[in-house]
Structure 1
């Protein structure tokens, strides 16, 4: 198989989806991976972090049991056993992403570093392969800021933190994006003292009102937040790592760097294939084609693409339709949902309120608190709200912060993608009591303001009452 239909470089979420889809449609496929099958999501990202968060949430339930009339207890956390749980979850999913499974699908899997040698040729382990189409799906790596002394201080990233076997006594988290916030709360709930340092606001791209709910929860859990500060220097004294912020020096037992991601394209020889980048990512058109029209780029190496596993899967579908079926397909990133799995969760799709005002000027905002939902009250989960942003009566953005926000955003993903009318959402018959009533209430509020207290409606009703038999 030196001349094939498709070469896929990278066996993460995007690459695996492309390779499996193409192979099952009858294409001759080569999949090249130098690291672990499953990529960052399975081994160092979504899967281990959510498994760790689940363990931390269980510990927190024990502390908070008093809210329900049950004696609270201080959980006895066996951190090594927690990490065994994380490893077990990874191991349970790994067979789906394994080399054996893909070879069973007819994919030739090569473990090694790929390098372009021409517009349609790739070299790996001394062998040159040629393909009609090539897909780059190499993913991203942690970005390490240029803080003096940071490299020598010793730090953890998402690729190494899940290898810990003992809980840090004091974890310093540099970076207040989703990864930093999620892991800061999880480690605090598992017993570590945690200080989170962020140059601006935590979760800066999210709705400020929603972020304030998360901020309050983090502080309530005991996370120390240092926002709006700049780290001038880092270093290590024996087994203690430190960060200098102006005149202050913060010390900890461990340091987690969670300051963003950068495309993993080093060593690919993109110039040999005529592929251009912007210094951070690969530039593509809306069809995900690079400057070399026979080479596609997918996932978080694509300039402007959100760095999520579900986007990687979406990109795979866009490429499969073109390369296997010859159908036109374009990527649209305007309606991609995102969730930060902190407690309470923060989910969003479309435009934030600020973005909508800048884009449309005239918008209407409906805010539906969790506290008005009976199921939220029974679960003692009143913190949070849904914010619905409308333009000309149609939703253009939804933010949910609260319990199970990541699940509650799903109908709004459908609504924005299909331009569903609010009357459909407000007219749904939902089981009682459920948190899903949050979305229905928000949609119904749009019509309530038009119907209730409207003098024209009142006159019409009085007239109808006179003529009705």
Structure 2
């Protein structure tokens, strides 16, 4: 059989499009393989549709809290089906538009189907074999489903189904305590569902700074029900009543209980889409959890085969795979020189309520490394309510926590919980990227009264600790 040859072959149309599209623009013979909808996780079942659902949920939440401003109002009704149909129509339309573009352009060549390696540098899709000077694996990840007794075969939801649902359940059970559970739990809850999170651990968002975790749990638990230290032993589904029943066991006391709901969302992390790529026919290595192993050049154990994004797992964000894709294209095809990837400070955000954002080291990570507060690092923390804008917004939560290196006085970590945290964090991202000291951050003029003054006040408090 004839093996088609390309300069660039990309598997996956999410972050992979950062390579396939510009490769075609500069005249390289390129191809892209996609088995599902164009746009990857972010556009079709991740960050974009979830934020399109969370925004109206935030509006509903704000309406319910209007009483603190002495405004009498309420949410009369929520047309959940119409909200979801609008979201799906928009994202599906964008995906179709990308597909149409690829269909109308001969370069890159678009192959719709499932890609499998048949040898180190030969990939097969729909019976067609192809190779390339460089192959890029960008297959992303999918929801991880835990082996809970009785779960398989029931109509449970993952984030994928939750973002395409048509009916708002009266009572939603959520297994998980990470960002997906907290974001979608808030979205469904703010729109009217009675939400219950079933969490194995003692906190939510366990990767956040511990002070952020504590504040998040305090506020989130006021709005939604959280069951900590609960192990889900069994799932039962009554087809007639259309009800889920979870059998739970407390991880410390051993006390057992059951909880029943109209819908079940499983949000227990993700797993890489590498188990069905035929990697066993190659020398491409993966780790225990299936993530592709790459070196500092983003190259796998097979020369000329690269991997990026969620299937690698260095970072699990769309903005991180965008950075990786841009880096690979620039170094390999514009500069034409292999370079080791060097990530700038990598930010993240959790679009729940409260909203959370962070970049750099947490205090917990510093303590784990043996660093001592006051000797190795200093902290400046300022609450939202202790600000001019706080007087206007009357917040019942929120703060900015900044961590500075004691020796060189540079910002090394920033953690924010509160309104517009995902916007507020950008000042810290810029500061860390360009090595700003606490003095430099205080030289600029901050608009009064605006939320970034909370950041400034945290800098002032940190300065007092040097």
Q: Same fold (TM over 0.5)?
A: yes
Contact preservation (8 Å) 1:142, 1:259: yes
What is the CA deviation profile of residues 373-424 of structure 1, one whole-angstrom value per residue up to 9, with x for unaligned ones?
2113212235211111122222211110011010111121122122122222
1:19-418 matches, within 5 Å, as: 19-91=20-92, 93-94=94-95, 97-101=98-102, 103-104=104-105, 106-200=107-201, 201-221=203-223, 223-238=224-239, 239-246=242-249, 247-279=256-288, 280-303=290-313, 305-325=314-334, 326-332=336-342, 335-359=345-369, 360-361=371-372, 362-381=376-395, 383-391=397-405, 392=407, 393-418=409-434
Deviates more, 1:259-268 or 1:85-94: 85-94
Partner of 1:17: 18
Taking structure 1 as reference, are residues 205 and 442 closer, same or farther at Cα in structure 2, changes over 3 Å only? Answer: same
**Greater C-alpha Rg:** 1
Contact preservation (8 Å) 1:376, 1:382: no
Contact preservation (8 Å) 1:51, 1:89: no
- Tell me, in whole angstroms, the C-alpha distance in 2 between the residues paired with 1:401 and 1:96: 36
Deviates more, 1:86-95 or 1:425-434: 86-95
Deviates more, 1:188-197 or 1:354-363: 354-363
What is the CA deviation profile of residues 30-73 of structure 1, one whole-angstrom value per residue up to 9, with x for unaligned ones?
00000110111111110111011011111122212222222121
* Residue 435 of structure 1, CA deviation: 0.7
Deviates more, 1:224-233 or 1:415-424: 415-424
Taking structure 1 as reference, are residues 89 and 431 closer, same or farther at Cα in structure 2, changes over 3 Å only? Answer: farther
* Residue 163 of structure 1, CA deviation: 2.0
DSSP 3-state at the match of 2:231: coil
Deviates more, 1:57-66 or 1:167-176: 57-66
DSSP 3-state at the match of 1:159: helix
What is the CA deviation profile of residues 136-172 of structure 1, one whole-angstrom value per residue up to 9, with x for unaligned ones?
0000011011111111333100111122111011110
Structure showing the higher helix proportion among its residues: 1
TM-score (norm 1): 0.91
- Tell me, in whole angstroms, the C-alpha distance in 1 between the residues paired with 2:447 and 2:461: 19
Taking structure 1 as reference, are residues 346 and 244 closer, same or farther at Cα in structure 2, changes over 3 Å only? Answer: same
- Tell me, in whole angstroms, the C-alpha distance in 1 between the residues paired with 2:70 and 2:428: 36
- Tell me, in whole angstroms, the C-alpha distance in 2 between the residues paired with 1:449 and 1:397: 16
* C-alpha RMSD of matched pairs (Å): 1.9
* Structure 1: gaps spanning 5 or more residues: 451-469
* Structure 2: gaps spanning 5 or more residues: 250-255
- Tell me, in whole angstroms, the C-alpha distance in 1 between the residues paired with 2:210 and 2:68: 28
Taking structure 1 as reference, are residues 405 and 46 closer, same or farther at Cα in structure 2, changes over 3 Å only? Answer: same
